[in-house]
Amino acid sequence: MSSANTSAVGQGLANRFNLQQYVVYLGFLAIFLFFAVVLKDSGFLTVRNLSNIVLQTAPATIMAIGLVFVMSAGEIDLSIGSTVAVAALAAAVTLGQYGLVAGVLAGLGAGLLIGLINGALVAYVKLPSFLVTLATLGLFAGVSRSMTDLRSIPVTDSVFTGFFGSGVFLGIPSLIWWTAIAVAIGHIIYRETRFGAHVLATGDNARAASVSGISVPRIRLAVMAISGTLAGLAGLLYAGRLQAAKYTLGETDLMTVIAAVIVGGTLLNGGRGSIIGALVGSLMMGMLNNGLILMGLSVSDQMIVRGLIILAAVAVSLREKSR
């Protein structure tokens, strides 16, 4: 299979690059240029519209960072779709009663707790993460609905909404700060630490990782906890930007986030991935949404186009893996 590809051997540099690693940048550029031409009179290229795209994708980008860790370790986390709402509601309710710090801790804590539950079931009970998080996705969707009887909880604390939503610091919107900081820290941990290397090794060959002294269960627990906590942070960002929390938050993000991560060069089966790629993938998904709306496509047509793009991305991902 791979040994047949003798042409790759002997080109040390060529081995380090492959189509999937930069297809996201080409795709991003192509879609950007396409919309820039087609929508030049519809306001696509305005600073306001472009910065709106970045602001709107902030929660999805944060979730995507967590998912890069999870997928690189060979797992999946579907529960992020409902973790967002649980965390946002927990934060909103606690914020109203016990103040700012308690609210923030409640939101992040809810995400961490869900991540630890998923992680413990995957790492120590050894259940497949697909089934575990499919179950907890449904379970916590129910929890978020029962928490406030489907009601929306307003978030009025101006410090909170400024910090997590509409604020501006040094001339840059806080949501862009959050995105930039999360991407930078995520990238460094993923690429430059032993933990990141062990995550990749675990997803690549769990047995090899294990005989090399890496605690595979601990890695699996950790990636699920990271994903849960970042989904919790995404919940805070939604609550801050919308100044309210509701059970519907994050409901439609799951597919977008998975698509962003896969388009961004992270392999579905683990062992290889990219945080920067996931950022660009997420921006690309946001740009696609924005452009398709400006083009006047119906919601159903938007869904079809997005589905097709995800299909193409998965095809490239799997082709590269079996090369």
Stretch of 128-136, 185-193, 222-230, 291-299 contacting another protein, by CB under 8 A: 185-193
CA distance 47 to 91: 32
What is the crossing angle of helices 299-321 and 275-294, to 10°?
150
* Residues 219, 72 contacting (CB under 8 angstroms): no
* Structure-token pair, residue 114: 């869900």
Going by C-alpha positions, the residue among 244, 249, 250, 248 that lies closest to residue 93 is 244
In the window 9-28, what residues touch another protein (CB under 8 A)? 9-13, 15-16
247-253-254 Cα angle (round to 5)? 105
CA distance 54 to 108: 22
With CB under 8 A as the contact rule, the residue among 37, 38, 168, 188 that binds another protein is 188
φ, ψ at 245 (rounded to 5°): -120, 140
Any contact of residue 296 with another protein (CB under 8 A)? no
Which residue, 158 or 193, has its beta carbon nearer to another protein?
193
Any contact of residue 241 with another protein (CB under 8 A)? no
Answer positive or negative: Cα dihedral of 255, 260, 263, 267: negative
User: Minimum distance from CB of 12 to another protein (Å)?
Assistant: 3
Any contact of residue 193 with another protein (CB under 8 A)? yes
* Structure-token pair, residue 264: 């961004």
Stretch of 41-49, 129-137, 211-219, 303-311 contacting another protein, by CB under 8 A: 211-219
Sequential DSSP letters for 95-113: HHHH-HHHHHHHHHHHHHH
Helices (H), 76-151: 80-98, 100-123, 129-147
Any contact of residue 171 with another protein (CB under 8 A)? no
Any contact of residue 117 with another protein (CB under 8 A)? no
Any contact of residue 308 with another protein (CB under 8 A)? no
Query: Site mask, another protein, residues 70-99, x = CB under 8 A?
Result: ------------------------------
With CB under 8 A as the contact rule, the residue among 204, 242, 294, 303 that binds another protein is 204
Stretch of 35-43, 47-55, 196-204, 293-301 contacting another protein, by CB under 8 A: 196-204
Sequential DSSP letters for 215-250: -HHHHHHHHHHHHHHHHHHHHHHHHHHHTEE-TTTT
Which residue, 211 or 299, has its beta carbon nearer to another protein?
211
Binding-residue total with another protein (CB under 8 A): 33
With CB under 8 A as the contact rule, the residue among 208, 308, 311, 312 that binds another protein is 208
Query: Site mask, another protein, residues 272-291, x = CB under 8 A?
Result: x-------------------
Which residue, 171 or 213, has its beta carbon nearer to another protein?
213
Residues forming contacts to another protein in the complex (CB under 8 A) are: 2-3, 5-6, 8-13, 15-16, 188, 192-194, 197-198, 200-201, 204-205, 207-214, 267, 271-272
